[in-house]
Structure formats: C-alpha cells, structure tokens
Amino acid sequence: MKYLLCLFLILSTPLMVYGATQKAASKTGQLIDQQEMEQIFGDYLAEQSRLLPHVDLRFKSLNLPKPYHVPAGRITHQVIPAKPGVIGSRRMTLMTRVDGRIISNKSVRVELESLAEITVITGALRRGTILDSDDVEMRYQEISRLNAPIFSVEDVIGKRLKRSVRLGEPLQRNQVEFPPVIKRGERVVIQARSQGLMLTAAGEAKQDGRTGEAIRVMNSNSRKEILCQVVAPGLVKVEF
C-alpha cells in the first residue's frame, strides 16, 4: 500500500509497458513452448540492444522452464531483468498475463555476455591527475561487473581523477570529476519503474547532479520531493 501511494503521489501520466509482446490465444487456450519463450527473450534482448548501442549483448545460456498452458484471451509476455538496465543480470522474470491478469510468473536463470569498447588506463595514475589522450585507450572487453564504464576517450580528456588508478584498469564514471549534467532549478523528466512498468512525470531538480548520482527532485504535479538517480541531461529515474 505504501508503494502504491508513493506511485500515485509521484506520477499522474499514462503508463507504458516495456519489454512486452502481445498475441491472441484461441478459445481453448494456448501452450507456451520453449521455442516461443526463446523468441520472447530474443526480442527482449534486441530491444535492450537498441537502448544500449555501445554494448553487444547476447545470451551465453538460457535455462528455460518447461512449457506451460495459458487460458484463452489476449496474452502479454513481459521480461523483467534482475538488475535495471539488464547488464549483470543472472536471472530474469518471464511474466505472462491474459487480458491483463497475471497467469504465470517464472524465474529464468541466464548467463549474459555484455561486450563493449570502453576507456582503459594506459599507466598507473595518481588522484588529481588531469587526463590527456596518452593516459587512456579504448579496449573491447566484458563489462558485466562494471558499474559505469565510459564509452568515449573524448568524455574524459581534460577531466580530473578523483582517485588513483592502476595500469590496465577500466575507467568508470565515479573515478572522474564530471560537471553536473542537471542543475538546481532545471526542469526534468522523472521515470519511475515498478514491477517492470514504467511511468513518467515532469519535475524540478532541487540539487545539482552528475550522471549516476542521487538528487532531490520535486514532482510538478504532486509538489512532493523524492530522491532520484540522474540518468542523462534532463532525465532522472526512481524505482519502487
């Protein structure tokens, strides 16, 4: 009830469902077999790949459940990763609804490969170093265990290191001083996720914020302040 009340106070715009596919079942219902499940997960990963153009995503393994039946009606499948943004997830939930009612909720063990060209340090550097082009290079590697890799050398040239780094270490956003991408008083879009659903609302930043940082944002409709994570210029998110 507390979470539902929070969502009501935060957001007032129509919701959109991400990662879902729909189809109509026959009058006698339908069997969801492993071939169809594989297609559902494949479509979901393709959707995530479009949202993460820097990253090559693929399943190394997908431990699908046994086939299951659903009753007649309009079927909606939704894939929900264990970690927001999918990278690093070892489990995903396959949720099946018929005419909006949840019929099946299955946990699926996955092994996901996430490869990308990221910035890597070319030599040991001390805290306070101003980075130049000789200090970093691009390297194609697995990024599943990295929190916030950097996908462009140009993003870090002229920036100051917040802590010392080792030779060959992937450079992450929390290691570099970046200027705020959202400033206090700026109008922002709030994205909220709850059980795989996403809603949006307008808000006002009450603090400066860099990518990945948590800042206070006031919802323009409810006038309530909430703690959100900075995603990009003009965009923050909150999860319930």
Of 3 and 193, the one with more pLDDT: 193
Backbone torsions φ then ψ of 22, nearest 5 degrees:
-125, 150
Average pLDDT over residues 64-79: 94
pLDDT, tens only, 133-192: 999 999 999 999 898 899 999 999 999 999 999 999 999 988 999 889 999 999 999 998
At residue 193, does pLDDT exceed 50?
Answer: yes
At residue 121, does pLDDT exceed 80?
Answer: yes
Backbone torsions φ then ψ of 225, nearest 5 degrees:
-95, 135
CA distances from 103 to 17, 24, 32, 63 (A): 17, 14, 12, 20
CB 37 within 8 A of CB 221: no
E strand intervals along 16-100: 16-17, 20-24, 30-32, 55-63, 68-70, 74-81, 91-98
Its pTM stands at: 0.64
Show the tokens assigned to 134. 């000789």
CA-CA-CA-CA dihedral for 83, 84, 87, 91, to nearest 10:
30
pLDDT at 129: 95
Percent above pLDDT 90 for the chain = 69
Could you tell me which of 20, 110, 111, 95 has the C-alpha nearest to residue 64? Answer: 110
pLDDT-derived band at 28, boundaries 50, 70, 90:
low
At residue 92, does pLDDT exceed 50?
Answer: yes
Number of residues that this document lists for the chain: 240
CA 198 to chain CA centroid, nearest Å:
11
At residue 230, does pLDDT exceed 70?
Answer: yes
The domains located in the chain, with CATH, are: 18-114 (3.10.129), 187-239 (2.30.30.760)
pLDDT at 5: 37
At residue 65, does pLDDT exceed 90?
Answer: yes
At residue 27, does pLDDT exceed 50?
Answer: no
What average pLDDT is seen over the chain?
Answer: 86
Average pLDDT over residues 93-119: 95
pLDDT, tens only, 101-111: 999 999 999 99
pLDDT-derived band at 132, boundaries 50, 70, 90:
very high
At residue 77, does pLDDT exceed 80?
Answer: yes
